[in-house]
Amino acid sequence: MMSTEVTESSNRSTLHVAVGLGVFGAAHFVFLALAGRDLGPAGTAPVSVAWTLLNAIGIGLFQPVEQEIARRLSAARADGAASGQVTRVLRYVGLAILTVVALALVGYQWLADGPLASGSMVLVVVLGLGAQAFAYYARGILAGTGQFRRYGAQLAVDGGLRIILSLALFVTGASSQVAYATILVIAPLVATLITVRPTTLIRPLRARPLAETTESPLGGLVAAALSSQLLANMGPIAMAVLAGASQQDLSGRFIAAVTIARIPLFLFTPVQVVVLPALAAIVVRHDWPAYRATMRKTLLISAALATVGTLGVAVLGPWALSVAYGPAFTIGTSTLVLIAVSGGLFMLAQAYAQSLIAHHRERLIAIGWGIGLVIACATLAVDIELSLRVALALCTGTGAALVTLLLGERKIVRMWRDESPVPPQR
C-alpha cells in the first residue's frame, strides 16, 4: 500500500514539474533561436558563451544548493520534523558568490576582450550567477517540502519571461548582445519573487538542527556538480579554445546544434528533480523494494528518451536546426547524432548519480565525472574535423562517466541493502 501511495505521489509531482520544465526548456530554444536569427552565428557567439557559462558554472555551483536543501528537508520530513536546517548551505552560497566576483575581477580583461566580447557581458554573467543562486535556493526548499506545484510554477514563469522578453527584443529591433544576456538575469530573479512565498524562504533559516543530523560533504557535491556540468557543456568551451579566428561563428552554431540534439535531456530534468528527494526519503526508511522500483522506472525513462531522441535527431536534426535558427546555422548530421548519443549517455549517468547523492557518496560521483572529463579531453587530440571531434569527445567522456558511476552505484547499493533491516510485509 505504501509503495502505491509513493508511486502516485511521485507521478503527480513529476507532472507538475514536467509542465513547468516544458515551458522552461522551450524558453531555452526560443531565446537562443531568436538571438541567433537576430545577431547571426558570429554575433550571437558572446550570448551563447554567456548562456554556456551560466549552465556550466551556475548549475555546477548552485544546483548542489537545491539538491542539499531538498535532501535535508526531505530527510527531516521523513523523520517527523517540521523543517530542516540550511544555515550551513547558505554560508556556502555566500562564499561561492564572493569567489565568482573575485575570479571575474581577476579575469575581467581576458573575458571582456575574448569570449564575452565586452565588460558589460562580464557583469551580466556575474549577476546571472547571483540570480541563479537565489532561484536554486528557493527550488531546493520547494522540492524538499513537497511543493512541486509551486516548483513547476517557478520554472514556468522563468521560462515565460525568457520567451516574452526575447520576443520583445526581436520584434522591436532594439536588440543587442547585452540586452539578450540581461534576460538571463531578470527571468530567474523575478520568477522566484513571484511564485515563492517569503515565509517559505525564511522558515528553514529559523529551524533548529535535528538532534542527529548526517552532515554531508557539500564540497564533494559541488565538485560532482561542477565536473558533470563542465563535461555536459564542454562542447562550446572546447570550441572557444580550439577554433581559430576564421571560425568564430562555430561556437554559436555548435550550441544551436546542442540545443536541438539534446532535447531529450531537457525532458529528463523533471524526472531527475523528483527522483532525488524520493530516493533520499527511501534511503532513510531503508525501503529496498521502493528503491529498486524507483531506480528501474528512472532508468527505463532515461533509456526511452535517449533512444527516441537519437533516432529523431538522425532523421530530422539538420532540418530542425535550420527551421529553428535559420539557414546560416548548419552542422554535419554525424555531429548532431553524436551529440544526441552523448545526451542519452549523460541521462543514464545522471540517474546513477542521483542514487549516489541519496547515499551521500558525492566524492565517488566527482570521481566518475572527473574520469569522464579526462577521457573527453584526451579524445580532443583525435585528428578529425573540429565539430565532429568535440562531439566524439562528449560521447567518450559521458560513456566513461556512465560506466564508473554504474559500477560505483552497484557496490554502494549492495552494501546498503545488506545492512538494511528487512522491510515489513505489505
Query: Over the Cα atoms of the chain, what is R_g?
Result: 21
Cell numbers 527505463 correspond to 300
**Cα gap 78→208, rounded to integer Å:** 16
Query: Which pLDDT value is given to residue 421?
Result: 58
**Phi, psi of 95, deg, nearest 5:** -65, -40
Cell numbers 577521457 correspond to 375
- pLDDT tens, residue by residue, 90-123: 889 999 999 999 999 999 998 888 888 899 999 9
- pLDDT tens, residue by residue, 354-408: 999 888 888 899 999 999 999 999 999 999 999 999 999 999 999 999 999 999 9
Q: What DSSP designation does 44 have?
A: T
Query: Which pLDDT value is given to residue 211?
Result: 45
* Cβ 195 vs Cβ 16: under 8 Å: no
% of the chain exceeding 90 in pLDDT: 47
